[in-house]
Structure 1
């Protein structure tokens, strides 16, 4: 069996916030209030975030992310993959698997490419590599 190709994760600016709510548990729809979380990394197929909430690391838990950064606004849904530990003693770190449709995936690639360009404006070779890697998936 061929190993799954993962997308390149891009670190977002410090202080990037998303609003997260639980939208289903084990396939059953639920409604919860949204909580603010700090987003560390984003790719076309995953998001890593920190929160004070202690969530069960279970793929049956489906989360909705309302994420805004720069001029972009994304509404993403994903399954909780794992709890990666804690940072600063009181924030839990989680990774969530995303499965956006093709158009949303393309928009995420464009948004993350802009993040790369702002971080390193002169690294055009790196920007081209990222664009090529993510558009061939």
Structure 2
């Protein structure tokens, strides 16, 4: 696990974003979002196209997860190309750090619609029916 005096928040993360080849507009938008947050290292994953868009999206997430070099010291962040931050960098960093240093948690979803769940802190909650996968760690 990363040292507390090492990289923090978003700086801890390995970034990937999912983008359909023909959506150059969304590619520019997500890269602009990253730049606004101070994220300079990221990789584009060409989305798997499917007649069922949700299935193509899920396949894209699964492919990144199965091929990425996952490490205890560096969380993997996967965003879709339409992800927009409504929080500032400091707030996002605080959530990521709290999640990362909590050994009881495995997945952080920054963009979601939770139908149930319970708060474990001011920043985090545990759910069993989380919908949407716009931005996962």
| TM-score, normalisation: structure 2 | 0.26
TM-score by length of 1: 0.26
- Structure number with higher relative contact order (C-alpha < 8 Å, ≥ 6 residues apart): 2
**If each structure's strand is expressed as a fraction of its own residues, which one has the higher value?**
1
Higher fraction of helix: 2
